[in-house]
Structure 1
Amino acid sequence: MYTEKVMDHFTNPRNVGEIENANGVGEVGNAKCGDIMRIYLDVQDDIIKDVKFKTFGCGAAIATSSMVTELVMGKTLDEALKISNDAVAEALDGLPPAKMHCSNLAADALHEAIKDYISKKGK
């Protein structure tokens, strides 16, 4: 059902935790399945220097959260904004159709965190 990469990111998630004084935080949830994701960003000079996540949800939700943090580390905000739901799923070598909404949450949480950063900077 799940790819090897999904299982690896679920059992060994990367960048779990919270960034104190994060300058961008995004949270999204899916009432239908109960998944909730929060992404924390440390942005310096429009580059993501650190990113952490906290996720309450299924294995796919945890895996997509972990993967999105790896995809954006060191990227500019413009590059990070281009990361789509499909890109997250592709980076995990796919998700079952019933779990595609989990990749949507990961990309959405990332985009919300970037929007939060931009609004705080007054851009």
Structure 2
Amino acid sequence: MCAARRLDVIGSDYLRNARALGSGFGRAMWRHGLRNGAVPVISILGIELATTFLGAVVVESVYTLPGLGSMLLTAIQQHDYPDIQGILFVSTLLVLIVGFLADIVQRLIDPRLRQSISGNR
């Protein structure tokens, strides 16, 4: 967790209330602070991991590494449309899976996101 977000969590009302109810600092931080502070971090990590997959084209072309990025560039140069479609499909699928997994982890960590869609509490 970044330092600015950690300071926001330490000064928050829910952490102060947990401490007032008798939890120690470590337990309150683990149970309440980490969960609430980790939600934006997980979403940013999911986005960054997805862009890492998409940055393979640049890295593989700069370092002449074999992989999907160099295969995509070769397919574009040779006008090999089935290969282009397959590589873009796999890349899109990886990005969607990473986003889905980030959403699932957020739902597991943050109890506010576990509420049903119908609004029943």
Q: TM-score w.r.t. structure 1 length?
A: 0.30
The structure showing larger relative contact order (alpha-carbon pairs under 8 Å, at least 6 residues apart) is 1
Structure with higher helix content? 2
Q: TM-score w.r.t. structure 2 length?
A: 0.31
Larger of the two Rg values belongs to structure = 2
